[in-house]
Amino acid sequence: MTEYLNVDGGTLAYEVTGASGPLVVLAHGMGDSREAYRFVVPRLAAAGYRVAAVDLRGCGESSVGWRSYSRTDIAGDLLAVIRHLGGPAVLVGHSISGGAATIAAARGPELVAGVVELAPFTRKQSIKLGDLRVSRYRKGIARLLGTGLFGSVRLWRSYLDVAYPGRKPADWAARTARIDAMMREPGRMAAMRGMGRSAPTDAGAQLGNVRCPVLIVEGTLDPDWADPRAEGEAIVAALPTGLGRLEMVEGAGHYPHAQYPDEVVTLLLDFLRAHANA
């Protein structure tokens, strides 16, 4: 059942599964909704966790028309949800929300017991000519840039096809149709373009201020980076010594939690058992 939380600037939609247990908050990437975690939520709840899946500002069932869509903005929203639900929580963030989770952990250490970042954009990015020799990266970045430049739902769908290399979820056709419909709703593409224009420098500036354990999960075939392992290692290196750990999911693209949910849930449960507060 969808619940709503009014915060400064709009309304956030979220859904809680599991009546009790340590709190886990799941935040998706841009151009998506909380349904991105459809394979993850039931398994975490069955393992005894109270799981809150959030629609980011401008996405899913959350309101549109926000003033801005930076990682700092999203971090504030996530901290508001955790506070409302009675944290602390382990915060799981995908892509742009990985960077937001970093900021939330640094700014609200009393509310964030641990962070899991899935294919996160948490550091300043730049396109290097040598990286363009990697075919999947060249295809992915072209479609992402085109989506942002033209506001094209067709290009976003084309990017998603590259971002899920090889194995597609069993509900791929139905799921992408729902994403297509959502992105055609008034204000949804504008929200995604706003997120795309927001550089992750605010998140990178907070990496050294994080005080909780952090798990970085990267797919080996993620088209958003020419070398996903190197990106994950750089994030771990920027965290305080001993706090970060990197895990690679073989064959996964930019959505490991939807493409390889068994592997990702195993990693999540191991992390939660070690770091979630009862």
Query: CA torsion, points 111, 117, 123, 127, in degrees to nearest 10?
Result: -160
Report, as an integer, the average pLDDT of 118-141.
87
185 bridge partner residues: none
Domain made up of 3-275: CATH architecture: 3-Layer(aba) Sandwich (3.40)
Contact 163, 255 (CB under 8 A): yes
Axis-axis angle for helices 153-163, 172-183 (nearest 10) = 150
Report the DSSP pairing between strands 244-249 and 214-219.
Answer: parallel
pLDDT band at 277 (very low <50, low <70, confident <90, very high): low
Question: In this structure, what DSSP letter does residue 36 have?
Answer: G
Domains of the chain by residue range: 3-275
Q: Greater confidence, 127 or 66?
A: 66
Please check the confidence at residue 238 and state whether its pLDDT lies above 80: yes
Report, as an integer, the average pLDDT of 61-77.
96
pLDDT band at 128 (very low <50, low <70, confident <90, very high): confident
Please check the confidence at residue 72 and state whether its pLDDT lies above 90: yes
Query: CA torsion, points 264, 192, 202, 204, in degrees to nearest 10?
Result: 30
**How do residues 206-233 score in pLDDT, each as one tens digit?**
999 999 999 999 999 999 999 999 999 9
Q: What is the pLDDT of residue 267?
A: 98
* DSSP notation for 197-219: HS-THHHHTTGGG--S-EEEEEE
Contact 109, 115 (CB under 8 A): no
Please check the confidence at residue 269 and state whether its pLDDT lies above 80: yes
Please check the confidence at residue 160 and state whether its pLDDT lies above 60: yes
Axis-axis angle for helices 188-197, 172-183 (nearest 10) = 90
* DSSP notation for 169-198: -TTHHHHHHHHHHHHTSTTHHHHHHHHHHS
What one-letter code names the amino acid at 90? V
What b/e readout covers 130-154, taking b as 16+ CB neighbours within 10 angstroms?
eeeeeebbbbbbbbbebbbeeebbe
Please check the confidence at residue 133 and state whether its pLDDT lies above 90: no
Q: Give which of 84, 122, 118 is closest to 210, Cα–Cα.
A: 122
Helix (H, G, I), strand (E, B) or coil at 138: helix
Please check the confidence at residue 278 and state whether its pLDDT lies above 70: no
Residue 70, class by beta-carbon neighbours within 10 Å (0-12 exposed, 13-18 middle, 19+ buried)? buried
pTM score, whole prediction: 0.95
Q: What's the CA angle centered on 227, arms 225 and 230, to 5 degrees?
A: 110
Residue 28 CA to residue 9 CA, distance in Å, equals 20
Report, as an integer, the average pLDDT of 133-162.
92
